[in-house]
Amino acid sequence: MILFDSHAHLDFEDYDADRDEMITRARAAGLINIVNVGFDLDSSRKAVQLAEKYDLIYAAVGIHPHVADEAPIDFLEQLEQLSAHPKVVALGEMGLDYFRNLSSRPVQYKVFREQLTLAKRLNLPVIIHDREAHGEVMDILHQDSPFPAGGVIHCYSGSWEMAKQCISLGFYISIAGPVTFKNANRLKDIATRIPLNRLLIETDAPFLTPTPHRGKRNEPAFVQFTAVEIAGLKKMDNEELAKICAENGKTLFRLNTTR
Ligand code: NI
């Protein structure tokens, strides 16, 4: 299978003991690319370092809503500097998280909006985190559209109606491991409906481990289980589904063209 993991956090200390082996397993499973997504400035720097070390890894740099409160005053300048690296392919992750509310909502909103503006100026795609903030995220995306470089709603958890709006705004929808869970009927239904040319798959490793490894640490090799699940839902060949998602990833993050 040819696989593309559109969202992972391989810089996290969860992999400090076996990062090389984990990447070797990813290659063996068929991974051609992994987008390692920054969580804060430190993690974004580490994402760039990983991308320098491993040819299949690309980096995104951004401030997650969980740590929006801690973003230094010059975070936009720092993100812009990091984004000049040739292996930085997107800004993110960024967005709103009204489930855990680890940063104050007004600051989450401000840090999200400012990153969207920066991405537009730099002509980079955006990687968006939305948890229990669907209405607000859609309001912002509508107000700030168009996004000429596009983007992705990662670990999609909204409705089919919202997915249609995201697609009409030019976004991809990325489905993560929970689609493999037995009782995930709503997400399975949405995965069935998302047009193939707008679909990405991801692990969000080390989180959200798919069945049959649920409960253990996640890693990019496990994105195959998400591919197989969605192929089954769409009644198509596993390898074909995986290949289309890989092509979509290369298109969104412009891995085929010289940047
Ligand atoms: Ni993430």
* Centre of ligand 1 from the C-alpha of residue 159, in Å: 20
pLDDT tens, per residue, the chain with 259 residues: 999 999 999 999 999 999 999 999 999 999 999 999 999 999 999 999 999 999 999 999 999 999 999 999 999 999 999 999 999 999 999 999 999 999 999 999 999 999 999 999 999 999 999 999 999 999 999 999 999 999 999 999 999 999 999 999 999 999 999 999 999 999 999 999 999 999 999 999 999 999 999 999 999 999 999 999 999 999 999 999 999 999 999 999 999 755 4
**pTM value?**
0.97
What pLDDT is recorded for position 257?
A: 59
Residue 259 located in a structural domain: no
Residue 258 located in a structural domain: no
Amino acid identity, position 47: A
**Closest among 127, 15, 106 to 63, alpha carbons compared:** 127
* Centre of ligand 1 from the C-alpha of residue 143, in Å: 24
Residue 170 located in a structural domain: yes
* Centre of ligand 1 from the C-alpha of residue 92, in Å: 9
Task: Please give the structure tokens belonging to residue 222.
Answer: 């496990």
Residue 156 located in a structural domain: yes
What's the domain count of the chain?
1
Residue 257 located in a structural domain: no
* Centre of ligand 1 from the C-alpha of residue 39, in Å: 7
* Centre of ligand 1 from the C-alpha of residue 93, in Å: 7
* Centre of ligand 1 from the C-alpha of residue 197, in Å: 22
Strand 57-61 vs strand 126-131: parallel, antiparallel, or unpaired? unpaired
CA distance 170 to 225: 27
Cross-strand pairs, 4: 33
Helical axes 134-144 vs 105-122, angle rounded to 10°: 30
Residue 159 belongs to what domain range? 3-252
* Centre of ligand 1 from the C-alpha of residue 209, in Å: 13
What pLDDT is recorded for position 259?
A: 47
What pLDDT is recorded for position 256?
A: 77
Task: Please give the structure tokens belonging to residue 118.
Answer: 């920066």
* Centre of ligand 1 from the C-alpha of residue 44, in Å: 12
Cross-strand pairs, 172: 152
Residue 220 located in a structural domain: yes
- CB atoms closer than 10 angstroms to residue 247: 15
* Centre of ligand 1 from the C-alpha of residue 64, in Å: 8
* Centre of ligand 1 from the C-alpha of residue 256, in Å: 24
CA distance 2 to 8: 17
Residue 162 located in a structural domain: yes
* Centre of ligand 1 from the C-alpha of residue 204, in Å: 5
* Centre of ligand 1 from the C-alpha of residue 234, in Å: 25
* Centre of ligand 1 from the C-alpha of residue 175, in Å: 12
* Centre of ligand 1 from the C-alpha of residue 56, in Å: 18
Place of tokens 């990091």: 82
CA 237 from centre of chain: 24
What pLDDT is recorded for position 91?
A: 98
CATH number, domain with residue 60: 3.20.20.140
Question: What Å distances lie between residue 70 and 66, 73, 94, 118, 131, CA to CA?
Answer: 9, 9, 14, 19, 19
CA distance 147 to 201: 21
